[in-house]
Structure 1
Amino acid sequence: MRLRRLGSVAHRADAEAAGADGSMDLLRVHRPGMGSYFEIRLGARVPGALELASRALDLIEALEGQLTIYRDDSEVSLLNRDAPDGPVAVEPGLFDLLTLARGISEWSGGAYDVTAGALSEAWGFVRGPKRVPTDAERADALAKTGWCRLRLDPTRRTVGFETRGMVVNLGSIGKGYAIDRAVDVLRGHWLPTSALVHGGQSSLFALGSPPGRFADRWEVALRNPFDPESPLGVFRVRNRAVGTSGGAFQHFEVDGRSYGHILDPRTGSPAEGPASVTVLAPNAAEADALSTALYVLGAEAARDLVAARPDVGVVFVHEGPSDHAPRVVAMGLGPRDFASS
């Protein structure tokens, strides 16, 4: 989650009305953050809508200051500095987030791992420049990676590292977590409020039903990674999150070979996954992390894992005969959840 230098614009929420056809009047409030942007869409007629959305975005901004690795004084940066020397007490929300991340690591057999920050640094995906590390550099980074070496004490809410040089990087789950916390702000409004909370192109949570459409669902397009102007289907979501991962979103080329930014923490190299993986899950933090884990694992390895999670649905997009006709594989989704184009 890159902390961007945005000047005064980072402290201002831009708002605009939507729904010119009169069927759904939405207020859209957006602000840059975490290397991307966040947008909250809620009913324009909700009393105090702009102030409510601004408070939610203020919380996201504060969470970036806590979770980013691009500031030496963030809580995560201080944790990375001090945890090798002994247990470090952390804020309860951060402890719960690390507990969730560790659980997903165990569930995925290590295909997901927030302790793989040293690998991201070795490949130049953190501060750059992007590069292919030597075998020795990759082996050294792998030796500093491992969710099993992350010690969490729920009684004292402390975190410790068994390995010096290990780096926690929450870039694969932090945006979703921030969305979940923003949704909590909206849920706390004195008037029941529905909303759609976006984090860039990859993460969102649909709270309630669209304004004026009681018991209906928000409709979210499945992006075609080969042809963004031709969506592959529509998700219909209510009180559920959507998270997408794909290697094409960030990559670099060396000697004609493309290297994606999603690393397999078990091998230390970029995962050669599908074009994209989109997950529907109970919350945005899980949707983000699970999409990363399943991208690394691939569709075949994912089947049993997804079958064991009836609250999770997944869509894999693979290269097909043409950009307009990629291969779409859906798991754990009913016709009310997803309809392909």
Structure 2
Amino acid sequence: MHSQRQRLPNHFITLVGITLLFVLGAHSPVHALEYFQRNHAAMGTQFHFHVHAESAQVANTALDEAISLIEAINQIASDYLPESELSRLNRAPAHQPIPLSDDLHALLTRSIEISALTEGAFDITAAYAVQNWRRARRQQQLPKPELTAKAISMTNWRALEINHHQRTLTKTQPEILIDLGGIAKGYAADAALTILRQHGITRALVAASGDLAIGDPPPGKSGWPVTLRSFAAKDSPSPDVTSEILLHNCACSTSGDLHQYLELDGKRWSHIVDPATGLGLTRRIAATLIAPDSTTADALATAACILGPQKALQLLQDRPGISFRITELDEAHPHRPHLTISGPAFKPTAQ
């Protein structure tokens, strides 16, 4: 008796075929990502791009678009370019609604929010004070008292009123000037990282000087290595001390007078201007701040230096997604810098 071969049902064959395709597909090698790096000078600093992409073509297309966007933001937010949107806004009279582009509206809105959060430690209307202090640093002498008084009188973030429905800004006080230097680079880094993600490049880091917008970690890594700098003890052979943390999908900014300062008559003045005094800080302080986005981190890192450790703890320690590390060098104890840490991103360090 001859046995007969049974024909399998068509639906069974189809099911097996799909299963084999799924199994083979699951074990097929994933196309390896290539690493690409590019630098671009903009907004008075260097932007550094670190990306992992499928090909040079994908990377270059995304990077070109990201850089074009940074340049467009500079045309909006620069106080150096005479025909930038910000420069035109600064020339506009008080008590008159001025239309805003989407980017300038976003920048001004976030700036005012952070001014309120930090009780004015971050204040984009300290523009004249910043200009006055830059001039003093170049001339190696303190500003005249009358100029400092003028700078303080022109600093008032509450004199900025935004109509969000009509997208306009009204300056309610004459002579108000705006300087976005403390937030615009972080905003541009965020915007560039968004462009990279739109092109499918999620494993990327955009660094605008000390302002980092950080995406997914590099392949096979748990995060991007970020070097933290703080003061070395007095008479140390190294000007600062470094440590490293790994970060992903967040932002990190550092501010302080580690390297930018002015010494007059034995007194050290920071390049960071306190809006309340119109002068540079005199405390030795540096802050590294981690936040969900670089726009926030950029502004709050400078604000943390102005606030000081205790006030920063009071105002920022319960903010979602915010971690910071503040190093202060007390001249009374120059051999032992004091470290203040808040948030889960930094591990406690022995004092």
TM-score by length of 2: 0.81
Counterpart for residue 193 of structure 1: 202
Counterpart for residue 289 of structure 2: 279
- Displacement of 1:128 in angstroms is 5.1
Change (3 A) 1:304 1:224: closer
The structure with the larger Rg is 2
Higher helix fraction: Structure 1 or Structure 2?
2
The count of corresponding residues between Structure 1 and Structure 2 is 311
Note if 1:265 corresponds to 2:278. no
Change (3 A) 1:315 1:274: farther
Q: Contact between 1:125 and 1:261, CA under 8 Å: does it hold in 2?
A: no
Note if 1:112 corresponds to 2:122. yes
Counterpart for residue 27 of structure 1: 36
- Displacement of 1:236 in angstroms is 2.1
Counterpart for residue 41 of structure 1: 50
Given residue 282 of structure 1, which amino acid in structure 2 is its aligned partner?
A: P
- Distance in 1, matches of 2:212 and 2:198, equals 18
Counterpart for residue 3 of structure 1: none
- Displacement of 1:44 in angstroms is 5.0
RMSD, aligned CA:
2.5
Counterpart for residue 98 of structure 2: 88
Q: Contact between 1:235 and 1:338, CA under 8 Å: does it hold in 2?
A: no
Instruction: Provide, for residues 288-329 of structure 1, a one-character-per-residue CA deviation record: whole Å limited to 9, x for no partner.
Output: 100111100110111122222031000112237778x74332
Q: Contact between 1:236 and 1:338, CA under 8 Å: does it hold in 2?
A: no
Counterpart for residue 151 of structure 1: 161
Equivalent residue for 1:223, pick from 229, 236, 240: 229
- Displacement of 1:238 in angstroms is 1.3
- Distance in 2, matches of 1:87 and 1:127, equals 35
Note if 1:245 corresponds to 2:255. yes
Structure 1 stretch 203-212 or stretch 175-184: which is displaced more?
203-212
Note if 1:206 corresponds to 2:217. no
Could you list the runs of 5+ residues in structure 2 that have no partner in the other structure? 1-31, 233-237
Q: Contact between 2:130 and 2:273, CA under 8 Å: does it hold in 1?
A: yes
- Distance in 1, matches of 2:136 and 2:54, equals 42
Q: Contact between 2:51 and 2:201, CA under 8 Å: does it hold in 1?
A: no
Given residue 217 of structure 1, which amino acid in structure 2 is its aligned partner?
A: G
- Displacement of 1:130 in angstroms is 5.8
Instruction: Provide, for residues 55-101 of structure 1, a one-character-per-residue CA deviation record: whole Å limited to 9, x for no partner.
Output: 21221122112211111100100000014251110101211111111
Q: Contact between 1:275 and 1:319, CA under 8 Å: does it hold in 2?
A: yes
Counterpart for residue 12 of structure 2: none
Q: Contact between 1:274 and 1:316, CA under 8 Å: does it hold in 2?
A: no
Counterpart for residue 177 of structure 2: 167
Change (3 A) 1:126 1:207: farther
Secondary structure of 2:36's counterpart equals strand
Q: Contact between 1:27 and 1:42, CA under 8 Å: does it hold in 2?
A: yes
Note if 1:123 corresponds to 2:133. yes
Change (3 A) 1:167 1:220: same
- Distance in 2, matches of 1:149 and 1:197, equals 33
Q: Contact between 2:140 and 2:264, CA under 8 Å: does it hold in 1?
A: no
Counterpart for residue 344 of structure 2: 333
Q: Contact between 1:245 and 1:291, CA under 8 Å: does it hold in 2?
A: yes
- Displacement of 1:280 in angstroms is 0.1
Secondary structure of 2:94's counterpart equals helix
Secondary structure of 2:202's counterpart equals coil
Change (3 A) 1:313 1:125: farther
Note if 1:294 corresponds to 2:300. no
- Distance in 2, matches of 1:127 and 1:298, equals 23
Could you list the runs of 5+ residues in structure 1 that have no partner in the other structure? 1-22
Q: Contact between 2:111 and 2:123, CA under 8 Å: does it hold in 1?
A: yes
Counterpart for residue 99 of structure 1: 109
